[in-house]
Amino acid sequence: MKWLLWKAFTSLILFFGAREMFNFCFLSQAYVDSSVIMGQTGQFQTRVEKYENIEYMKCTPENGFFPDLSTVSPTNIIFFCSPNNPTGFAASREQLTKLVQFAKDNGSIIVYDSAYALYMSDDNPRSIFEIPGAKEVAIETSSYSKYAGFTGVRLGWTVVPKELLFSDGFPVAKDFNRIVCTSFNGASNIAQAGGLACLSPDGLKAMQEVVGFYRENTNIIMETFNSLGFKVYGGKNAPYVWVHFPGQSSWDVFGEILEKTHVVTTPGSGFGPGGEGFIRVSAFGHRNDVLEACQRFKQFCK
Ligand SMILES: Cc1ncc(COP(=O)(O)O)c(C=O)c1O
């Protein structure tokens, strides 16, 4: 099927999951660790807690979770995740237009991760290709993991437009296909059959129901932290709630919550230096567990 899709679109490639894309191709900000393992970064700089050869684009409440591109040094590859994990923020059409222009001006390729697009509840773009000119500068990758619980099954896809060319005019899609076909034997037939079932009318309905269920979980978590007086971000366009603990270390907050409530959150600084002072709370869970966790948060904050 991979071949059939390749023939039909000349630009759509199926992966085991979205993550394989990051590991095998380019330096990733989203998955810094993978890039380190692949030997694409420089040394870790302890003083600033950053790797060399990565330009970190800080996304915080101060800049509306979108980087100030006038201060960002050009790179070959720009990894951009919207709706974002961990902040839950989704970029607007205007912001994405600026990003596309920035990539054009600097000869960069955007790798756009839209793994949470189905969770969006506002009318911001679901795909970078909604932006005119994006096909000349962007690749988009996504996954069934968050839509249909394929995290273990492994199936994702990547769109590499025909219009995307290296500076010498050679199509990126040709190199991409070569890398993929050399590195993988393709997604299993079982996984692909599952993916096709997801795209049937029943499958699409089931995915909407799953997303709706997690959206309800997200609302419960948002309400809990709001009622406790925390500054809370995200939740609207992704199943993550980004909770601010100003002046505190993410790891300290994570440790205290774990010890006192036995609930596992994720320390924000684990996503990069811009996440310091935050924790991420995930809505991917059974309803009773989410309710129980929220009850414990309330006890913890009494
Ligand atoms: C933004 C984002 N992209 C991609 C992935 C990985 O997806 P997959 O399971 O298809 O590798 C994740 C998983 O956590 C994610 O949060």
My answer on whether 275 and 168 are in the same domain is no
My answer on whether 149 and 165 are in the same domain is yes
My answer on whether 112 and 209 are in the same domain is no
Distance CA 35, CA 271 (A): 14
Residues with CB under 6 A from ligand 1: 17-19, 81, 85, 113, 115, 143, 145, 151, 156
Whether 252 and 246 have beta carbons less than 8 Å apart is answered as: no
Residues 6 or more apart whose CB falls under 8 angstroms from that of 101 comprise: 133
What are the tens digits of pLDDT across the range 85-111?
999 999 999 999 999 999 999 999 999
Domain that holds residue 258: 204-300
My answer on whether 38 and 113 are in the same domain is yes
In this structure, which residue's CA is closest to atom 3 in ligand 1? 115
My answer on whether 249 and 106 are in the same domain is no
Atom of ligand 1 nearest to the CA of 144: 10
My answer on whether 147 and 239 are in the same domain is no
- What predicted TM-score, i.e. pTM, was given to this entire model? 0.89
Atom of ligand 1 nearest to the CA of 15: 10
* H helix intervals, the chain: 2-9, 19-24, 32-37, 93-106, 145-148, 172-183, 189-198, 201-227, 250-261, 287-300
My answer on whether 19 and 157 are in the same domain is yes
The residue from 198, 231, 246 where one domain ends is 198
My answer on whether 264 and 186 are in the same domain is no
My answer on whether 122 and 262 are in the same domain is no
Segments in the chain below pLDDT 70:
1-31
Distance CA 88, CA 19 (A): 19
Cα–Cα distances (Å) from 96 to 115, 132, 236, in that order, read 16, 10, 18
Atom of ligand 1 nearest to the CA of 30: 1
In this structure, which residue's CA is closest to atom 2 in ligand 1? 115
Whether 116 and 83 have beta carbons less than 8 Å apart is answered as: yes
Ligand 1 centroid – CA 63 distance (Å): 25
Ligand 1 centroid – CA 7 distance (Å): 26
The number of C-alpha atoms within 13 Å of 180 and in the hemisphere containing its C-beta is 27
The residue from 164, 198, 232 where one domain ends is 198
Q: According to the model, what pLDDT value does residue 15 have?
A: 53
My answer on whether 162 and 44 are in the same domain is yes
- Give the CATH number, domain containing residue 245: 3.90.1150.10
Rg (CA), the chain: 20
What are the tens digits of pLDDT across the range 274-297?
899 999 999 999 999 999 999 999
My answer on whether 159 and 229 are in the same domain is no
Atom of ligand 1 nearest to the CA of 20: 11
Q: According to the model, what pLDDT value does residue 302 have?
A: 81
My answer on whether 113 and 45 are in the same domain is yes
The residue from 148, 178, 198 where one domain ends is 198
Q: According to the model, what pLDDT value does residue 149 have?
A: 93
Ligand 1 centroid – CA 296 distance (Å): 28
Pairing assessment for the beta strands 109-113 and 77-81 based on DSSP bridges: parallel
Cα–Cα distances (Å) from 298 to 191, 253, 264, 295, in that order, read 41, 15, 15, 5
Give me the number of domains the chain comprises: 2
- Give the CATH number, domain containing residue 192: 3.40.640.10
Distance CA 69, CA 161 (A): 24
